[in-house]
Structure 1
Amino acid sequence: MSEHHNSDERKFRLWMRWLPGIFRKKLEERDDLQKVIGNTGWQFVDNLVRMGIGLLIGIWVARYLGPGPFGLLSFALAFVALFSPLASLGLDDIVVRNLVRDPTTRDESLGTAFVLKLIGGIVSLAAATAVIFVLRPENGLSRALVAIIAAGALFQAFNVIEFWFNSQVQARYVVVARSTAFLFCAGVKVALILGGAPLIAFAWVGTLEFLLGALLLVLVYRSRGLNLRRWSSRLTRAKTLLRDSWPLILSCIVIMIYLRIDQVMLGEMVGSEAVGVYSVAVRLTEVWLFIPTAIYWSVLPSLVEARAAGNDLFYSRLQKYYNLMALLAYLIAIPVMLLARWLVLSLFGSPYEEAGLMLAVMIWANLFTFLEVARSAFFNVMNWNRIYFVTLSLGAALNVLLNWLLIPRYGGLGAAIATCVSYWFAAHGACFLYKPLHRTAFMLTRALLYPKLW
Structure 2
Amino acid sequence: MLGKLKIQEKLSLLKSRSGLRAIIANTGWLFADRILRMGVALFVGVWVARYLGAKQFGVFNYAMAFVALFSPISTLGLNAIVIRNIVNDSSNKEQILGTTFWLKIFGGVISLSLAVGCAFLFRSDSLTIWLVLILATGGFFESFDTIDLLFQSQVQSKYTVVAKNTAFIFVTLLQISLITMQAPLIAFAWAKLIELGLAAIGLMIAYKVKGYSIKLWRWSFSLAKNLLKESWPLILSGLTIMVYMKIDQIMLGKMVGDQAVGIYSAATRISEVWYFIPTAICSSVNPSIYAAKERSEKLYYHRIGQLLRFMNLLSIIVAVPMTFLSGTIIAMLFGNDYGEAGNILAIHVWASLFVFMGVATSSWFVVEGLTHLSFRRTLMGAIINVVLNFFLIPVYGGVGAAIATFISQAFAAFFSHAIHSKTRKIFRLQIKSLIFVQW
The within-5 A match list for 1:258-337 is 258-337=244-323
Percent of aligned positions that are identical = 44
Pairing 1:198–2:192 present: no
Name the aligned partner's letter for residue 18 of structure 2: D
Provide the rounded CA distance (Å) in 1 between the counterparts of 2:14 and 2:192: 40
Provide the rounded CA distance (Å) in 1 between the counterparts of 2:346 and 2:193: 32
Question: Per-residue CA shift, 1:108-134, capped at 9, x if unaligned?
Answer: 011011111111111111121122112
Provide the rounded CA distance (Å) in 1 between the counterparts of 2:152 and 2:165: 16
Which 4+ stretches in 1 moved above 6 angstroms?
26-29
The within-5 A match list for 1:404-415 is 404-415=390-401
8 Å contact kept, 2:323–2:347: yes
Q: 1:311 deviation in Å? A: 0.9
Question: Per-residue CA shift, 1:180-237, capped at 9, x if unaligned?
Answer: 1111111100000011000000011111111111011001100111000011101111
Name the aligned partner's letter for residue 397 of structure 2: G
Provide the rounded CA distance (Å) in 1 between the counterparts of 2:331 and 2:437: 33
1:182 to 168, 172, 180: 168
Number of residues of Structure 1 aligned to a counterpart in Structure 2:
427
Q: Identify the residue that residue 16 of structure 1 maps to in structure 2.
A: none
Pairing 1:116–2:103 present: yes
8 Å contact kept, 2:50–2:335: yes
1:352 to 338, 344, 347: 338
Bigger Cα displacement from structure 2, 161-170 vs 27-36: 27-36
2:243 to 241, 246, 257: 257
- With over 3 angstroms needed to count, the CA separation of the structure-2 counterparts of 1:164 and 1:270, relative to structure 1, is same
Pairing 1:81–2:73 present: no
1:34 to 17, 21, 24: 21
Q: Report the TM-score when normalising by structure 2.
A: 0.95
The within-5 A match list for 1:373-412 is 373-412=359-398
Provide the rounded CA distance (Å) in 1 between the counterparts of 2:14 and 2:220: 41
Q: Secondary structure at the match of 2:70?
A: coil
Q: Identify the residue that residue 130 of structure 1 maps to in structure 2.
A: 117
Q: Secondary structure at the match of 1:280?
A: helix
Name the aligned partner's letter for residue 77 of structure 1: M
Q: What RMSD, in angstroms, separates the aligned Cα atoms of the two structures?
A: 1.3
Q: Report the TM-score when normalising by structure 1.
A: 0.92
Q: 1:27 deviation in Å? A: 9.4
Name the aligned partner's letter for residue 44 of structure 1: F
Q: 1:28 deviation in Å? A: 9.6
8 Å contact kept, 1:362–1:417: yes
1:207 to 193, 214, 219: 193
Unaligned stretches of 5+ residues in structure 1: 1-25
2:228 to 242, 254, 277: 242
8 Å contact kept, 2:147–2:204: yes
Name the aligned partner's letter for residue 29 of structure 2: W
8 Å contact kept, 1:27–1:34: no
8 Å contact kept, 2:305–2:438: no
